[in-house]
Chains A and B, each alone.
Chain A
Amino acid sequence: MRARLKQIIAALEIRPALVGTLSTLLLLIIWSIWASKTETMHSSFVGPLELLRRLYLLATQGYGGTSLWVHIAASLFRTGAGFIAGAIVGICVGMAMGYSSIISSALAPLFSFIRPIPPIAYIPLVILWFGIGEFSKIVLIFLASFLYVALNTAAGVRAVPQDLIRVARTLGTSNFRLFYAVILPEALPYVMLGLKVALALSWAVVVAAELVAAQAGLGYLIMDAGTFFRIPDLGSELSAHRPDPCRHNEQELRRQPPASC
């Protein structure tokens, strides 16, 4: 019996994909059973199959008269624009900081001051300065991603071995070439780490920004659905409860009393 168990464990240890699939299936089954038990009381807690059906409806029929892809594209565009700008400026500033201790010392107080501020805290200020349009969200993503990329790049450049730069110099390398052909590739692991963290943060921040002020985007969709109790019934229509009269297209959707009411 014991030997049999050991055999099974050994077999599972070398099959991570199988174990992952089994655990996910188990989770889905528990979820389904739980949801079917509570369905009568809490319609906001639905099972996986129902959720998939709703997701399909959302994808095919859109939300609030707008296609889901428009919302996704809006969020992706903001994140992309802000992140790319933040990455480019961050890499340049980080390279300068890593290379020159004077630039690094000059920027250190400012950076240590703004580093502990969560990017979401800038939302009111950014809205005040740049309005609730597209630009303010891009600025916000820029602020969120810039700092991580710059600080990581600076650390990466500082970690480039002195010998490597010296060798490159004796090989007749120009200053410009030294930067892009030696220092940047050597610091790349650090830079990539900064970009990874910055991208994850950007995505979190864009959703947060859209929660506050937006007419499209995934954050807006979540906020709108939450406000109007559409959590379990994203495909259904709630025009009767909406304070916003300029919503359109909703008559075309299926008329059906929301399950939550």
Chain B
Amino acid sequence: MPDFTRKSATLETAAPSPDDIAVSLDRVGHWFDGPSGRTQALSDVNIQIKTGEFFTLLGPSGCGKTTLLNIVGGFIEAKAGDVAIFGKPVSGPGPDRGVIFQSYALFRWLSVLKNVEFALHHRKLPKAERAEVALQYLNLVGLQDFRHHYPYQLSGGMKQRVAIARALAADPKILLMDEPFAALDSQMREVLQEELIEIWQRTRKTVFFITHNVDEAIFLSTRICVMSANPGRTKALLSNDLPQPRADYRVRTTAAFQENKEGILALIRDELHPNRMRGALP
């Protein structure tokens, strides 16, 4: 049994050196103009994600998490501030950043194997090798026996495994995950969290993970950014000192885990009911 009693969830102080910074967000702001006026989605977000880190964005619904992921992915352009990937300003999506969405976004007309092979297309692999490499990635998520199935024949957890295998097959440096397990039941979610952390430890990708689930954030991340809403801004950057390896469900019941959870819950509690008043009922 590893020792889980170390102090954790300390406020971040030391700045990382600029060479090994995978994602750099500098005074990033974004807003949407609609018929009912302007929505300030993000304001003055400053985040530096180190290479190889498992970075989690934790925040309530509507605080701009997805907007931030879309900016890092290059799907939308930030209206203010600078966004850089390995020092280079972002200009559109690219194979250096793989994405995994809550909706799986599988190609439903392709078999599981062909879905993964799709990601190998841009790697200029010879056709004969493609199936074999794709199968290795399916192996990683334990779906080699389902390679000839189609997405509609899979459960939600299996679909998300295929999406993970497909994203990894493109060999990105950074994985962007937007609440990937939110649609799964809690048991399947925990299993996939354990699988993901194992994959992360084996591949050492930089992960930018979004969730509103405190347990998920604590179990997975090396660092957690707690966001506040209206407008979305970073409230606190915490480093998570839960010891590695963590791919063990017992971590969830340790004292250190509970301590971390308490700290984060205290941070976000006032977010959830900011203007709550106890008035008399009519």
What is the CA–CA distance of A164 and B109 in the complex, to the nearest angstrom?
A: 12
What is the CA–CA distance of A172 and B74 in the complex, to the nearest angstrom?
A: 13
Chain A residues lying within 8 Å of B172, measured Cβ to Cβ, are 170
Known: A166-B73, A172-B121, A173-B122. A188 touches B109 (CB 8 A): yes
Chain B residue nearest in CB terms to A185 = B109
Q: Does B99 contact A (CB under 8 A)?
A: yes
Number of A-B residue pairs with CB-CB distance less than 8 Å in the complex they form: 60
Chain B residues lying within 8 Å of A172, measured Cβ to Cβ, are 94-95, 119, 121-123, 170
| Residue among A161, A168, A169 facing the most chain B CB atoms (10 A cut-off) | A169
Chain A residues lying within 8 Å of B94, measured Cβ to Cβ, are 170, 172
Q: Mark B158-181, 1 if CB is under 8 A from A, else 0.
A: 000001001100101000000000
Known: A166-B75, A186-B109. A171 touches B97 (CB 8 A): no
What is the CA–CA distance of A210 and B121 in the complex, to the nearest angstrom?
A: 50
Residue tally, chain A, CB below 8 Å to B: 17
What is the CA–CA distance of A115 and B166 in the complex, to the nearest angstrom?
A: 43
Known: A170-B172, A171-B166, A177-B121. A161 touches B98 (CB 8 A): no
User: How far is the CB of B70 from the nearest CB of chain A, in Å?
Assistant: 8
Chain B residues lying within 8 Å of A186, measured Cβ to Cβ, are 107-109
Chain B residues lying within 8 Å of A188, measured Cβ to Cβ, are 109
- Tell me whether A169 and B93 are in contact (CB under 8 A): yes
- Tell me whether B107 and A166 are in contact (CB under 8 A): no
Of the A-B pairs whose beta carbons lie under 8 Å apart in the complex, a sample of 30, sorted by A's number, is A161-B103, A161-B105, A163-B103, A164-B105, A166-B75, A166-B101, A166-B105, A167-B105, A167-B163, A167-B166, A168-B118, A169-B92, A169-B93, A170-B93, A170-B97, A170-B98, A170-B167, A170-B172, A171-B98, A171-B118, A171-B121, A171-B166, A171-B170, A172-B95, A172-B119, A172-B121, A172-B122, A173-B121, A186-B107, A186-B108
Of all A-B residue pairs in the complex, the 8 with the closest CB atoms, nearest first, are A172-B122, A172-B95, A163-B105, A169-B93, A167-B105, A171-B119, A185-B109, A163-B101
Q: Does A89 contact B (CB under 8 A)?
A: no
Chain A residues lying within 8 Å of B118, measured Cβ to Cβ, are 168, 171, 173, 181
Chain B residues lying within 8 Å of A163, measured Cβ to Cβ, are 101, 103, 105
What is the CA–CA distance of A169 and B91 in the complex, to the nearest angstrom?
A: 13
- Tell me whether B95 and A166 are in contact (CB under 8 A): no
Q: Does A182 contact B (CB under 8 A)?
A: yes
What is the CA–CA distance of A171 and B117 in the complex, to the nearest angstrom?
A: 10
Q: Mark B117-152, 1 if CB is under 8 A from A, else 0.
A: 011011100000000000000000000000000000
What is the CA–CA distance of A201 and B73 in the complex, to the nearest angstrom?
A: 45
- Tell me whether B107 and A164 are in contact (CB under 8 A): yes
Chain B residue nearest in CB terms to A166 = B75
Chain A residues lying within 8 Å of B105, measured Cβ to Cβ, are 161, 163-164, 166-167
Chain A residue nearest in CB terms to B100 = A167
What is the CA–CA distance of A181 and B163 in the complex, to the nearest angstrom?
A: 17
Chain A residues lying within 8 Å of B163, measured Cβ to Cβ, are 167
Known: A161-B103, A185-B107. A170 touches B121 (CB 8 A): no
What is the CA–CA distance of A26 and B194 in the complex, to the nearest angstrom?
A: 67
Instruction: List A residues 65-84 near B (Cβ within 8 Å).
Output: none
Chain B residue nearest in CB terms to A163 = B105
What is the CA–CA distance of A185 and B172 in the complex, to the nearest angstrom?
A: 25
What is the CA–CA distance of A172 and B99 in the complex, to the nearest angstrom?
A: 12
Chain B residues lying within 8 Å of A169, measured Cβ to Cβ, are 75, 92-93
What is the CA–CA distance of A188 and B101 in the complex, to the nearest angstrom?
A: 23
- Tell me whether B109 and A166 are in contact (CB under 8 A): no
- Tell me whether B109 and A170 are in contact (CB under 8 A): no
What is the CA–CA distance of A168 and B170 in the complex, to the nearest angstrom?
A: 11
What is the CA–CA distance of A223 and B108 in the complex, to the nearest angstrom?
A: 48
